[in-house]
Amino acid sequence: MKKTRQLWRNALLLLSFLSVFSFSTKSQDYSFKLEKPVSGSFVNYSGDNQHQSVGNKIDKPVRVLVTSNGKPMQGIPVKFSFLDVPEGSKSHYLIDSQVYTNANGIAENYLVLGEKAGDYEIIASVNSELIVYKLHARKSDWWLMLSIGLLGGLALFLFGMHLMGEGLQKSAGRNMRSILSTLTKNRFMGVGVGALVTTIIQSSSATTVMLVSFVNSGLMKFNRTIGVILGAAIGTTITAQLIAFKLTDYSLLFIAVGFSLQFFTKSDGLKSTGQAILGFGILFFGMEIMSESMSPLRFYEPFIESIVRLENPLLGVLAGAIFTALVQSSSAFIGIMIVISMQGLLSLEAAIPLVFGANIGTAVTAILASINTNVESKKVALAQTIIKISGVAIFVMWIPVFAEFIKGISPEVQSTDNLSKLSAEVPRQIANTHTVFNIVLTAIFLPIVGVYAKFIDRLLPSKIKEDKKMQTKFLDKQIVATPAIALNLAKQETVRMCNVVQDMVNDILLVFFLKDKKLLKEIKEKEELTDYLRTEINSYLINISQANIQKERAQEAFQIMYTIKEIEQIGDIVATNLGKEAEKWIESEAEFSEAGKKELVDYHLRAQKQISRAIEVFRDVNLKKALTMKEKFKKYSAMANTFDMSHYNRLFDQVGKSLESSKTHLELMGMFRAITNHATNIARLFLDQKEK
């Protein structure tokens, strides 16, 4: 079929040539030249490569410029005829078969497309000169199909980015806390860690939100976050560089490999790696769908004109900031820009302001995250916003120079077709613009981190009075989507709860020795705080567990829940059991014997030490300390029995104070033994899980 169509096409060209030759022998012997005219005021002035819906007249006329010796020729007849049409098309026709040139040497003609979608080729001829025009008939529902393809491709693109980030987080999850723990006062280390963490979680916005959370919870000082903010901005450019590699041809291969690793392997590490590769493939597959869907826009002039308007810096920056704020990801928006540029629809001059806007828009997420936080957290968002706006203010005045620099460091493609050249060069130029912009910002602000931090401190001075209401210190719901970090926050809050209960245990013996009602009231207030923290931490852990976490993360969540249970029971023993006994003791005239006091102090100290060890085991997963706790518990149990025997001996010897305090003495000793047992249970859990 293709060979037959080619034969007909060649025959039509031959007939056209013969008819032109016949015309030329009858007319004066002129040497004509046919060209497709151009105009600086009009896009696609010649009318070639127009796109129009089937069955409609083309929007612009097909224009032919006829010259002789470089001069426009008036009154020259130009013949128009069809060279090729889509198979089965019948209702196509030219408005005129012959048109005379005007005073500018231009002949204009219109074409009505047939009912079949595809390419329509026509010949314009004068004497022996021929020129071919191609016009494309698109389907009548092309806008619907474009919208479906664009939305579907965008959904796959964003889903792939999310899946890739989630897989990388799971793969690196076990190391995330150690990565974050390297945040020191060294600003260069901060930049490196910021870039690394952002590469793993695929979002500088998410990194900044984490910084807001860490500062809000007291895990990090504000002045140590500036280096991380600068590094996060560099880290987010890596995604754009990957996207610019145009790996769309291999997207299905990545999907196949990622799917196989995720669903046919048993190792959690390989499953996570597979998820990251699968997301990478889906990302590029979505890009391919978007790119193909947008191809009609290459010739849709209203869209082209709107893109040209974006070369206005203010419009471009505003559009980039708004769109990035809506999708809450500069990587996603710049990825979409790269897809558009792959169709040759975006020049570097139009893309640069959009990239600047995307960098401003990414700060919006941090601002939103800091709304209900303390002043220190708000400083993080403000610091990032000022850095981005300052950078844009510096660069926006030098866009032409900056564009030339980016072109100079980016690969150049040799092509006579401007559209093909744009589609080949601009994607990498956009990625390089994003990278260079953020590297230069880092070079500007990194040497003045200390001064800049003091400047932000002056803009947002810390409040003197702190809010005393009952609240969590470390938990942040915005981090739940990153289980490795969220569990770390839950663990920090649990350690805080352990410390509160430890204070209660420390103080309870003083209540009995000093008969201090005020101290007993403070213990009961702390017990209310531990109840509140228990509820909040458990709720937070449930939210984390709903994020489809790995087995290792689920085990860690269970360790936290179990520790909370044991610690809460210790708190209940102190506030409820011993609290009630203390109220009676305070009202009585009874006293402990000196020997009884010494035994209570001695065993109370053992209970305190066991709680301290339990906190260390839980916080650091110190299994060596856990084994020590089991050995100590046996020793302490034997010691408790010895002390009980001593107390009974004093009763037999009719020691007066021992007779008066016997019930309370035994109650205290029994409760201290129970406290020691609950603390040791934490160590037993970690040892049992290690064995399994």
Cα–Cα separations (whole angstroms), residue 246 to 159, 194, 292, 409, 411: 18, 26, 13, 18, 14
> Tokens 């092309």, residue?
142
Relative to beta strand 51-53, strand 129-138 is parallel
**pLDDT at 242 (0 to 100):** 79
Q: What is the pLDDT of residue 180?
A: 54
The radius of gyration of the chain from alpha carbons, rounded to an integer in Å, stands at 38
* Tokens (6 digits) for 425: 């060069």
pLDDT of residue 246: 72
Provide the token pair at 612.
């301290």
Contact present, 504 and 526 (Cβ < 8 Å) = yes
- Confidence band for 368, pLDDT divided at 50, 70 and 90: confident
Tell me what pLDDT residue 497 has. Answer: 92
Position with higher pLDDT, 380 vs 680: 680
The helix (run of H) or strand (run of E) holding residue 450 is helix 449-459
β-strands 71-72, 98-100 pairing: unpaired
User: HEC states along 364-431?
Assistant: HHHHHHCCCCCHHHHHHHHHHHHHHHHHHHHHHHHHHHHHHHHHHHCCCCCCCCHHHHHHHHHHHHHH
Predicted confidence at residue 27, as pLDDT, reads 43
Q: Which residues of 285-318 are buried (b: 16+ CB within 10 A; e: fewer)?
A: bbbbbbbebbbbbebbbeeeeebeebbebebbbb
**Nearest-angstrom CA–CA distance, 405 and 420:** 21
The domain made up of 2-140 is a member of CATH 2.60.40.10: yes
Cβ pair 449, 223 in contact under 8 A: yes
| Burial (CB count <10 Å: 0-12, 13-18, 19+), residue 31 | exposed
pLDDT tens by residue, 171-223: 665 555 555 555 555 777 888 878 877 776 666 666 776 777 667 656 677 77
Segment among 271-285, 300-314, 605-619 with least mean pLDDT: 300-314
Q: Is 498 helix (H, G, I), strand (E, B) or coil?
A: helix
pLDDT at 14: 52
CATH 2.60.40.10 range(s) for the chain read: 2-140
Does pLDDT of 117 surpass 70?
yes
Q: What is the pTM for the complete model shown?
A: 0.60
For residue 379, name the pLDDT band (cuts at 50, 70, 90).
confident
Q: CATH 1.20.58.220 residue ranges in the chain? A: 477-691
Tokens 């010691």 correspond to what residue?
639
Please give the pLDDT value at position 139. 85
- pLDDT tens sequence across 62-100: 999 999 988 999 999 999 999 999 988 888 999 999 999
Q: Provide the pLDDT confidence category of residue 9 given band limits of 50, 70 and 90.
A: low
For residue range 551-565, list pLDDT tens digits in order: 777 888 889 999 999
Distance between CA 357 and CA 337 in Å, rounded? 12
DSSP string for 595-653? HHHHHHHHHHHHHHHHHHHHHHHHHHT-HHHHHHHHHHHHHHHHHHHHHHHHHHHHHHT
pLDDT at residue number 22: 44
**How confident is the model over 239-247, as a mean pLDDT?**
77
- DSSP for 313-329 reads HHHHHHHHHHHHHHHT-
How much of the chain, in percent, has pLDDT values that exceed 90?
A: 23
Instruction: Give the per-residue pLDDT at 90.
Output: 84
32: tokens are 């004509």
C-alpha 314/C-alpha 351 separation (Å) is 12
Short-list 134, 132, 96, CA closest to 12 = 132
pLDDT at position 301 is: 66
Would you tell me how many other CB atoms lie within 10 Å of the CB of residue 114? Answer: 19
Please, how many CA atoms are within 13 Å of residue 151, restricted to the half-sphere of its CB?
6
* CATH class for the region spanning 477-691: mainly alpha
Supply the DSSP string of 94-116, one letter for each residue. ES-SEEE--TTSEEEE-EE--SS
CA dist 33 and 64 (Å) reads 10
Distance CA 326, CA 157 (A): 16
State residue 78 phi and psi, 5-degree precision: -115, 125
pLDDT reading at 494 higher than 80? yes
Contact yes or no for 97/80 (Cβ under 8 A): yes
Q: What was the pLDDT predicted at 21?
A: 45
Mean pLDDT of the chain: 81
Q: What is the mean pLDDT of residues 341-353?
A: 84
| Residues 564-604 pLDDT 10s | 999 999 999 998 888 888 888 888 877 887 887 888 889 89
Q: 166 or 135: whose pLDDT is higher? A: 135
State residue 504's pLDDT score.
Answer: 92
Write down the pLDDT at residue 372.
67
The whole-number pLDDT of residue 171 equals 65
| 125: β partners | 79, 130
Angle, helix 656-691 to helix 594-620, in steps of 10 degrees: 20
What confidence tier does 465 reach under pLDDT thresholds 50, 70, 90?
very low
User: CA 308, CA 51: separation in Å to the nearest integer?
Assistant: 19
Instruction: Report residue 376 as tokens.
Output: 């220190």
In 3-state terms, what secondary structure has residue 593? Answer: coil
What length does the chain have?
692
For the chain, the first-to-last Cα distance in angstroms comes to 70
* Higher per-residue pLDDT: 478 or 526: 526
Is a pLDDT exceeding 60 seen at residue 19? no
Predicted local confidence at residue 588, as pLDDT: 81
- pLDDT tens sequence across 394-430: 898 888 899 999 999 988 877 666 667 778 888 899 9
- In this prediction, residue 486 has a pLDDT band, given cuts at 50, 70 and 90, of confident
- 50 or 429, greater pLDDT: 429
Lowest-confidence range among 168-182, 370-384, 654-668?
168-182
Determine how many CB atoms are found less than 10 A away from the CB of residue 576.
Answer: 12
Structure token pair of residue 578: 């011993």
- The dihedral built from the CA positions of residue 540, 542, 546 and 549, taken in this order, carries a sign that is positive
Angle at alpha carbon of residue 286, lines to 284 and 288, rounded to 5°: 70
Which of the four pLDDT bands, split at 50, 70 and 90, describes residue 433?
very high
Residue 371 has pLDDT above 90, yes or no: no
Q: What is the pLDDT of residue 609?
A: 92
Strand partners, 137: 52, 118
Asked if residue 675 lies in contact with residue 505, where contact means CB atoms within 8 angstroms, the answer is yes
Tokens representing 668?
């205290």
